Structure 1
Amino acid sequence: MVMNVSRSLKHLDLSSNLLSGDISQILGSLGPWSYLALDSNELNGHIPEMVKNFPSSLQYLSLTFNYIVGEIPQTMGNLTNLKYLGLSDNNIIGGIPTTFGDLINLESLLLQGNNFSRQIPEIIGNLTNLKYLDLSNNNIIGGIPTALVISSTWKSLWLSENNISGQIPETIGNLTNLEYLDFSNNNIIGGIPMAFGDLINLESLGLQGNKISRQIPETIGNLTNLKYLDFSYNNITGAIPISIGDLINLEILGLQGNKISGQIPETIGNLQNIPSLSLSDNFISGKIPDTFSRLYNLEILDVSYNHFTKLVFGTQLCNLNSIDLSHNHIDGELTDLIDALLDCKQGASLDISIGANNLSGIVPSSMGQLSMLRGLDLSSNLLEGNITEAHFSKLTNLTYLDISYNSLNVILPNDWLPPFNA
């Protein structure tokens, strides 16, 4: 498709249509434009070398969500007035051209969702006006270049879903205006730099799915603007820092799948905006702090696969609609837990999983008064005694029950049993 349009046209946006054809033909007929957007079409082919003849007035070029292939030509570096370049979600290969170091006016560079496979070049440090860089979901290798983490102009830096290795440089602390940082799902090693504490404007920090080790530094508590923090599925050790309670704006906290030990700090009760908390797959011990009763928005708690030894009970349960304590070392009896739940205001449905622990004694018949109970897993414990119809008298919302691998004598209500043919 060749475009013949007015030579006086400055701004052209043809995004989200059904345009097809070779991108080189379209780009070869450019006018003296400052803005060109061809996102979400069906354009294919290579970006042509003739890009050197693009109008010097071009400030905005976006070709995202097309079928463009091949490498970015070095001549793209001639577009020195570009402020925005979007080539994401295509099939572009190779790497970032070294001539990109000449794009000194560039503020946004979006290259995510391609097949870039080389290292991030040091020339990225030349782009002193760059605020938004997205290289996520590629095959980029090598370490995080020092030149990438020296400028205070950054607002957003996304490098997730690549093959980036090495450690996070301490110079990350220079990015004092950074609001969004995502290094997740790479091969990053080492510890979380103490310098993260200097990123006081950070609202979102994603490091999940790496090979990060060592303890979370106390300086993390400086990031009081954080709403999203995910360190899950790494090799982080040590205890949860007390300063975690300073992150009062936090809405999402991911710490599961690590080697975190010690007890949950009482300060976690300050995180009153969190609706869901997962600490599963760690080595955490002790009990659930009483301060959990202050987590008024917490609905889902998953502390499974840890080393908890004490059964949680009390008002800290009353706001939850799902609690998973399975695969711990909890002993004792169920009576205190059942009584605590009976003291809660009957409201939303509740799922409880305490399977694969060391609970002993009987299952109290007062369980049958928990009308909000929707799911119950008591499997693989040391429970004994009788389970009668009284245990199910008001469980009208119960849809899931697992009491297998105990020593219980179970008498189910007649209307629960399926008909059997003689």
Structure 2
Amino acid sequence: MGIILFLILLSVTNISQISSQCLEDQKSLLVGLKSNLIFYSSSSKKLVKWNQSMDCCRWNGSISGGIEDSEYLFGLTYLKKLNLAYNNFGRTEIPKGIHNLTQLTHLNLSNVGFTGQVSVEILGLRKLHSLVLSSSDWANPPMKLENPDLKMLVQNLTGLRELNLDSVDISAEGSDWCQVISSSLPDLRILSLRNCDLSGPIDSSLAKLRSLSVLRLDGNSLSSSVPNSFANFSKLKSLSLFRCSLHGFFPQKVFQIPSLQNLDLSNNEFLSGTLPQFPLNGSLRDIILSETNFSGSLPASIGNLVMLSMLDLSNCRFNGTLPPTIGNLTELDHVGISDNNFTGSIPLFHLSKKLTYVNAARNSLTGSISSMHFQGLPKLASISLGNNLLGGNIPSNLFALPSLQTLDLSNNKFGGPIQEVSNLSSSLLEIDLSSNHLEGLIPKFFFQLDQLTNLVLSSNFFNGTVQLEMFPPNLSRLDLSFNNFSIVSDDSNTNLPLLPWVNSLGLASCKLKKFPQLSTESKLLILDLSSNHLKGQIPNWIWKIGDGSLIQVNLSFNMLNDFQKPYKFPPSISILDLHANQLQGELPIPPPDFLYVDFSFNYFSKYIPNEIGNLIRRAIFFSVSNNKLTGEIPTSICNASYLQVLDLSGNALSGSIPSCLPNNNLELGVLSLARNNLSGDIPDTFGDKCSLRTLDLENNVLTGKIPGSLVNCSFLEVLNIGNNRIEDTFPCMLTKMGLRVLILRSNELYGNLLCPSAPTQEWRKLQIIDISHNNFSGDISVLNFSNWGGMISANNNKDLIRFDSSFLDGLHYQDTVIVTIKGLEIKLTKILTIFTSIDFSSNKFHGEIPSSIGDLKSLYLLNLSHNAIMGSIPASIGNLKQLGSLDLSSNNLTGNIPVELASLGFIAFLNLSFNDLFGMIPKGPQLQTFTEASYEGNVGLCGFPVNKSCNEDGVSSPPEFRNKSEKEIGWGYVSVALGFVVGLSSFLWLLLHCKSWGDVYFEKRYFLRK
């Protein structure tokens, strides 16, 4: 059933003086029309009142049928305006009788359910000024404009001032539709062609429409830039180009069109641009640039837009500070500036009395929030400032804003206690204060917010003792995880639910020593009891909560050792995390429809069931790593074709890798079979549609060659086949791929590193390479490090190398890597993009170190030890200002130690021992801090810290060149190396922000919740 039918009649000239009333014959036609219309008289408040006693010019109503061949409707030959919008005629075509209404100037048939070809009869309505055929009904097929086509339509209706064909299938190219409209409709003022299957480019001929005030082209694949001529639309009020696949640089002068009020360029991710200086008293009311590539700063002249109501710049690349003038815009209703690079403090918004929404999340905003920032804003309903760098106390008046419903201050640096509030906001529905430094007791007023549905306080320092019964009864989500308080519950009445409406409950790291009584929580869907002190058996009542309706359970990081029997996983469960416990026995059969199961870091033994692949057919993530599983990998695993992550590492599996595994599982992004006893060749069956991002096969007994079909894995970022028995040459086919981590250490690889197909050795993203302990040879001086882009830029970005699931939002798989120094291993449980490393040690390289090594400005670790490298140490190493570890020991290096090395202020480990270096050790803040062991075996070196003084020329006596076969390391060096490993481990621990030893030990290769 639609909304309204408006009929406005054109009176004849000889009765113009009574034009407020319609003619009797027209009234009779309308009464007859009413008798034929299909509508619900019982619910109608307008149509049912049509009668002879009322002026038919004032009739309106709602209809759903009865006009298809209506002699009454199409007999109204003097009808001037017909609006049938938002009625429901149910997949019929435009009635042919419409051609009788030749006096029509306005025709609106939007959202009435008409389908099929746009009627040719419309071409006869030559007096039309306004034609609206739009539709937003996605349930019905769209109307088509093929015969007649767009050209025929506009050439017959040249008087149109408004043309709205939204969602009509036009299917025309830019050079066609632009030119035919601009040449046929010179007086057009409103043009709306949203979702019409138009293609680009946007033709400059549109600029001929000098009277245009509204242009809407949303949802078309224009694949075009926006012509500069758009700035010539001097009367333009509204421009909407949402999701048009635009690119290029947007004309800045369009923002400065004096009449422009509404501008929407959102969801054009390749469209770039900057904001101009805005003129005084600008007319702009809405600026929507979200999900574009706009960048630059937000100018202070934004304060000139006194009429601005909506500002949405979210998910762009803006930076700089937020101008205080933005807080002076009294008409502001909506501010969306999230997901940019804004810095500095938040402006005061206390003058924006109409403000309802502020979202500045995921920036780099600093400073604190005072009680003035959002003071006296009666309509403010939502504040989102999460994922910034804001600190200080949270002002208590935020909780007293009268209309506030959502408050998100998560992932900041707010600290201290929250002060109690007396005049609470009764509207508060959602509070998220997670991941801050808040402390003290949970404020009592939180328990008084009766309307509250979401309360998230996780990852803070709240303390004390908390009872679940104290929280508001309407909560649907409660997350108290990772604080310093203890959770207790009153078990005296186990028949009543503690939280009757809760569907998500997070109690991780809440010092629980026993399971809280949750068996009566009928609405509970998500339960997190991880990182507590739970021991013994998992009670079988957990799987019956809500009549078995649980969809997500996390019991990881406890001391659970068994399942209370009988037990059965509920069929509804899709995410089950039991990793890091003491569970033992046979591997449990996963729930039938699960998406994610993590049984890693337990004591499960025996075999993986032969039918496992059939049991996990729908699985996206499956990990049984670091258990005691034996036997072979079942070939049925290839039937799990939806897997994105498969981790069987850290067991005692034997046999070969199933050859079907790389080829059948096209969604597979992570395959980790490391630290087993797998043998045979790596299958050369990586298919054309390979999606692998991580392949980790280290520490097995694999033989054969590196499979050439790996080149099909164009997304591969992490390749680790270290500590096997692979006998092959260097994998040149991988040099042009997007690898970030390449580990080939401790195999039987041989030959040089030169690649005929890629002589420049590209490695555009490579940041960690370890080819140590092989038989590689060749002249190292021919290597050109200038193309190793991942190590050249000084990268301050602390992102992690990880795999993000495309199906499980907010979950990711964390890669890990081992960095080796003199045979001592340091495990990086998080690989930051700022960590870079080259380890070529223990091979047979010769030649001189190329000076291009100095181009690797972000390099942190360089190990070329135990080779036959000769020549001098290049002075360009002094350019490596980020270098923290340098090992050139046990080579044939000669000459002086370059004075440039003394400027390396971050170097924590240095080993130049057992070479033929001579002369004075350069003086600097770092080089004298290392012990003599770092320089031993270079008999020509003098000066502190070696026990040999230099003569007046700064040299010692000529060196006695040693026998190159006698490259031994004394116990003094070993003690230095051991001391360094302890120091470097501490440094990396701080660098990688490890929370505790448990996180470092267990956070291996599994999904983590953001």
Query: Residue 605 of structure 2: which of 172, 189, 203 is its match?
Result: 189
Cα drift, residue 176 of structure 1: 2.7
Q: Which amino acid is 1:405 matched to?
A: H
Aligned-residue offset at 1:130: 1.2
Q: Equivalents in 1 of 2:692, 2:457: separation in Å? A: 36
> Partner letter of residue 511 of structure 2?
I
* Alignment match, 2:847: 387
Paired residue type of 2:898: P
Structure-2 separation of matches of 1:160 and 1:24: 36
1:176-199 C-alpha deviation (Å, 9 max, x unpaired): 321111122222222223334322
Query: Any conservation in 1 of the 2:673–2:697 contact (CA below 8 Å)?
Result: yes
AA at the equivalent of 2:707: P
Shift in Å, 1:230: 1.9
* 2:865 is the alignment partner of 1:404: yes
Deviation readout 1:208-256 (Å, 9 max, x if unpaired): 2222222221222222222222222222222222232222112222222
Could you say what secondary structure the match of 1:338 adopts? coil
Match of 1:132?
552
For 2:787, the equivalent position in structure 1 comes to 372
Deviation by residue 1:143-182 (Cα, 9 ceiling, x = unmatched): 4866243x32111111122222222134x2xx23211111
Cα distance change, pair 326–15 in 1 and its aligned pair in 2 (3 A) = closer
Residue 304 (1) aligns with residue 709 (2): no
For residue 282 of structure 1, the aligned residue among 692, 700, 704 is 700
Identify which range, 251-260 or 83-92, moves more after superposition: 83-92
User: In the alignment, is the contact (CA less than 8 A) between 1:23 and 1:43 conserved in 2?
Assistant: no
Counterparts of residues 103-114 of structure 1 (less than 5 Å): 103-114=521-532
Q: Does structure 1 residue 239 correspond to structure 2 residue 682?
A: no
Shift of 1:306: 0.7
Q: If you compute each CA radius of gyration, which structure gives the higher value, 1 or 2?
A: 2
Change in CA separation of 1:185 and 1:77 when aligned onto 2, cut-off 3 Å: farther
Structure 1: which amino acid aligns with 2:596? Answer: Y
Q: For 1:30 and 1:402, how far apart are their aligned partners in 2?
A: 60
Give the 3 Å change call, closer, same or farther, for CA 76–160 of structure 1 in structure 2: farther
Offset of 1:286 from its aligned partner?
0.8
In 1: Cα distance, 2:497 partner to 2:556 partner: 23
Query: Partner letter of residue 60 of structure 1?
Result: S
Give the one of 148, 155, 162 matched to 2:574.
155
Give the C-alpha shift of residue 205 in structure 1.
1.7
* Cα 1:11/1:199, change in 2 over 3 Å: farther
Match of 1:329 in 2: 748
**Aligned partner letter, 2:480:** T
Maintained 8 Å contact 2:735/2:763:
no
The one-letter amino acid of 2:636's match is T
SS in 1 for 2:746: coil
Distance in 2 of aligned mates of 1:10 and 1:125 = 36
Deviations 1:286-312 (A, max 9, x none): 111110111112233221111112224
Whether 1:273 aligns to 2:713 is no
| Structure 1 CA distance for aligned equivalents of residues 557 and 842 of structure 2 | 41
Aligned to 1:60: 476
Measured in 2, the distance between the counterparts of 1:369 and 1:34 equals 62
Structure 1 residues 143 and 190, CA gap change in structure 2 (3 angstroms): farther
> For structure 1, which runs of at least 5 residues remain unmatched after alignment?
none
Percent sequence identity is: 22
Q: CA deviation at 1:269?
A: 4.5
Indicate conservation of the 8 Å contact 1:242/1:267, yes or no.
Answer: yes
Q: Give SS of 1:147's match.
A: coil
Other structure's SS at 1:123 match: helix
Q: Match for residue 216 of structure 1?
A: 633
Instruction: Report if aligned partners of 2:526, 2:552 keep a CA contact under 8 Å in 1.
Output: yes
For each residue in 1:314-336, what CA deviation from the matched residue of structure 2 results, as whole angstroms up to 9, or x when unmatched? Answer: 42443135422211123x432xx
Residues 352, 89 of structure 1: CA spacing in aligned structure 2 closer, same or farther, 3 A cutoff? closer
How far does the alpha carbon of each residue in 1:91-144 deviate from its partner, in whole angstroms, 9 at most, with x for none?
3333325x5444454322222232222310122332311111111222222248
Look up the equivalent residue of 1:410 and give its one-letter code: M
Please tell me whether residue 39 in structure 1 is matched to residue 457 in structure 2. Answer: yes
Q: Deviations over 1:70-93 (max 9, x none)?
A: 655434552184552514234333
Matches of 2:440 and 2:513, distance apart in 1 = 24
TM-score norm. by structure 1 comes to 0.78
Query: Is 2:762 the partner of 1:346?
Result: yes
> Secondary structure of the residue that 2:536 maps to in structure 1?
coil
The range that moved more, 372-381 or 237-246, is: 372-381
18-27 or 298-307: bigger deviation: 18-27
Kindly indicate whether the alpha-carbon contact (under 8 Å) linking 1:95 and 1:119 is maintained by their aligned counterparts in 2: no
- Measure, in 2, the Cα distance between the counterparts of 1:96 and 1:348: 51
SS at match of 2:542: helix
Q: Which moved more, 1:231-240 or 1:77-86?
A: 77-86
Report how many aligned residue pairs link the two structures.
399
Whether the 8 Å CA contact 1:23–1:46 is kept in 2: the answer is no
Output the CA distance in 1 between the equivalents of 2:703 and 2:640.
26
State the Cα deviation string for residues 360-414 of structure 1 (Å, max 9, x = none). Answer: xx51477345643566544323x37x514xx7275554666544334x3612366
Counterpart pick for 2:646 among 226, 229, 232: 229
Q: 1 or 2 for the larger relative contact order (CA 8 Å, sep ≥6)?
A: 1
**Match for residue 28 of structure 2?**
none
Please list every run of 5 or more consecutive structure 2 residues that lacks an aligned counterpart in the other structure.
1-418, 792-836, 877-896, 900-918, 921-953, 955-1010
TM-score by length of 2: 0.36
CA distance in 2, matches of 1:144, 1:206: 23
Conservation of the 8 A alpha-carbon contact between 1:329 and 1:357: yes
State how far apart, in whole Å, the 1-side matches of 2:871 and 2:439 are.
68
Does the 8 Å CA contact 2:463/2:484 hold for their aligned counterparts? yes
The equivalent residue for 2:538 is 120
Q: Give the superposition deviation at 1:264.
A: 0.8
Q: Is 1:249 aligned with 2:707?
A: no
Instruction: Give the aligned partner of residue 778 of structure 2.
Output: 363
What is the SS of the residue equivalent to 2:755? helix
Alpha-carbon offset, residue 36 of structure 1: 6.3
**Per the alignment, do residues 37 and 300 of structure 1 end up closer, same or farther by CA in structure 2, a change over 3 Å counting?**
closer
Aligned in 2, Cα 1:5/1:229: closer, same or farther, shift over 3 Å?
Answer: farther
* Alignment partners' CA distance in 2, 1:322 and 1:30: 50
Alpha-carbon distance between aligned partners in 1 of 2:532 and 2:474, rounded to the nearest angstrom? 23
